[in-house]
């Protein structure tokens, strides 16, 4: 099992918790590498021919594939096991966090702060309904649950669980998506050196840290709806010696002034919002960007160029892991929504990028452990 880089905020698992976490990690590996590909074989050999026999044509889209695949016993067993692995993942990490609960706040309070780092939470913050309606990814209590005002357990649970969820594929600091976007930005805009950067929906700062590393002179901000997320992110970044200003804010309507950022970005956030929030966030990015500033949103794969089966299987998270808006977002026109939010139509692009770690492995002649192209919505104000 690959190891996650240790820092003082990362909860330490005891022997039994560690064995359980390793079991989930390995189960997810087998599901991804050995079991999931069998669904495609079954589709090609059994499900698609039966569909063609009945309708005299192939399934046209992922919704039609879904109707027939969800009746198949093998797919149902795969899907139930995948979901069980998700529930087991949270259980195995929550036990460690509960055991360390009292220490976490003390460790956070003792984290080395600088003038370039801060954390603000908002009293009576109104969590958007798309977070309270269902626990996204099945994380018990969601991103925002708090037992009291010192509670940072949601962040502690998230930090460790993401590593297991991604089977280590996001790197030992879970920072591959941040590295992918900073790398993309540097290649696309080699002459820009942003002075003020905002990461929306930063969670515990996994993707925010690479922005500080790439632009150490910049003032970097991270916002998130979850108070436990930003408080944990602040302590984590302090221990990693990466100064960042964190605050609990809704990306739909922030307290930042007009024209204040050179870069506003997000990493796998938009698909966990809603139709109106997606539109509001694009408008808010336009409002707070300086003229000439760049908006970048990296999100989970859309269906462009995907065959109906692949598009169906990549919808799994939406139907089984409470990422409900994903289904809708994949059918929306991201470019025209961005133009509607105020960006010039010739200033918006929807590109795709391999992840930083995959690019690195390919360059070294190695087989990437995880390979997918992420869409990146880019616009210049
Ligand atoms: C999948 S996590 C993103 C992880 C993080 N960006 C990263 O790359 O590691 C989604 C995060 O977005 C946050 N979020 C979703 N909607 C938001 C909104 N309207 N305003 C601020 N944060 C939001 C959630 O609270 C959650 O922490």
3-state secondary structure at position 187: helix
Q: At residue 322, what are phi and psi to the nearest 5 degrees?
A: 60, 30
pLDDT-derived band at 2, boundaries 50, 70, 90: low
202 lines ligand 1 (CB under 6 A): yes
CB distance 205 to ligand 1 below 6 Å: no
pLDDT digits (tens, 9 = 90+) for 8-38: 999 999 999 999 999 999 999 999 999 999 9
The pLDDT value recorded for residue 368 is: 81
Domains and CATH numbers, the chain: 15-112 (no CATH), 153-380 (3.40.50.150)
Q: How far is CA 108 from CA 119, 126, 260, 336, in A?
A: 11, 24, 29, 43
Over 70: is that where the pLDDT of 238 sits? yes
* Mean local confidence (pLDDT), 277-289: 98
**Contact assessment for residue 326 and residue 297, using Cβ atoms and an 8 Å cutoff:** no
DSSP for residue 340: H
Higher confidence at residue 27 or residue 148? 27
Minimum mean pLDDT among 15-19, 275-279, 364-368: which range?
364-368
The CA angle 255-212-157, to the nearest 5 degrees, is: 75
Is the distance from the beta carbon of residue 251 to the nearest atom of ligand 1 less than 6 Å?
A: yes
Ramachandran category for residue 201: left, alpha or beta (phi over 0 → left; psi -120 to 50 → alpha): left
Ligand 1 pocket, residue 136 CB under 6 Å = no
E strands, 86-218, are: 118-120, 196-200
Region at 60 (left for phi over 0; alpha for psi -120 to 50; beta for the rest): alpha
Q: Is 170 in the pocket of ligand 1 (CB under 6 A)?
A: no
Write the DSSP assignment of 325-365 as a string of letters: HHHHHHHS-HHHHHHHTT--GGGEEEEEEE-HHHHHHHHTT
Rounded to an integer, the average pLDDT of 350-359 is 92
What integer pLDDT is reported at residue 366 of this predicted model?
Answer: 87
194 lines ligand 1 (CB under 6 A): no
Give pLDDT tens digits for 41-79.
Answer: 999 999 999 999 999 999 999 999 999 999 999 999 999
Q: Are 322 and 315 in contact (CB under 8 A)?
A: no
Confidence of residue 150 (pLDDT cuts 50, 70, 90): confident
Nearest alpha carbon to residue 323 among 136, 152, 178: 136
Our mutation pick for probing the ligand 1 site, out of 130, 132, 221, 225, counting the most ligand atoms within 8 A of Cβ, is: 225
């Amino acid at each position: 099992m690959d190891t996650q880089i240790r820092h003082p905020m990362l909860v330490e698992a005891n022997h039994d918790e560690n064995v359980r976490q390793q079991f989930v990690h390995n189960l997810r590996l087998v599901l991804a590498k050995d079991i999931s590909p069998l669904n495609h074989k079954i589709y090609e050999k059994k499900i698609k021919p039966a569909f063609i026999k009945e309708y005299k044509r192939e399934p046209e889209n992922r919704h039609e594939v879904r109707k027939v695949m969800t009746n198949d016993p093998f797919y149902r067993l795969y899907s139930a096991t995948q979901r069980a692995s998700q529930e087991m993942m949270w259980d195995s990490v929550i036990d460690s966090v509960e055991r360390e609960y009292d220490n976490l706040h003390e460790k956070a309070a003792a984290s080395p702060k600088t003038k370039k780092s801060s954390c603000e939470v908002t009293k009576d913050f109104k969590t958007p309904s798309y977070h309270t309606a269902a626990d996204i990814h099945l994380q018990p209590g969601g991103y925002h649950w708090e037992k009291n005002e010192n509670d940072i357990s949601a962040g502690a649970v998230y930090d460790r669980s993401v590593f297991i969820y991604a089977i280590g594929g996001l790197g030992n600091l879970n920072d591959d998506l941040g590295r992918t976007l900073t790398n993309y930005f540097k290649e696309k805009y080699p002459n820009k050196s942003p002075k003020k950067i905002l990461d929306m929906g930063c969670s515990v700062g996994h993707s925010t840290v690479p922005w500080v590393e790439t632009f150490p002179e910049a003032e970097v901000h991270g916002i998130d709806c979850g108070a436990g997320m930003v408080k944990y992110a602040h302590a984590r970044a302090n221990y990693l010696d990466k100064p960042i200003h964190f605050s609990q804010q809704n990306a739909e309507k922030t307290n930042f002034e007009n024209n204040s950022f050179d870069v506003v970005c997000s990493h796998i956030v938009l698909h966990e919002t809603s139709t109106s929030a997606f539109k509001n966030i694009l408008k808010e990015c336009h409002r707070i960007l300086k003229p000439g500033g760049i908006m970048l949103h990296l999100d989970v794969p859309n269906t462009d160029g995907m065959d109906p089966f692949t598009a169906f299987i990549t919808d799994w998270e939406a139907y089984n892991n409470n990422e409900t808006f994903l289904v809708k977002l994949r059918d929306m026109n991201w470019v025209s929504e961005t133009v509607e939010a105020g960006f010039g139509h010739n200033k918006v692009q929807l590109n795709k990028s391999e992840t930083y770690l995959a690019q690195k492995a390919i360059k070294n002649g190695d087989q990437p452990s995880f390979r997918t192209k992420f869409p990146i919505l880019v616009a210049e104000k």
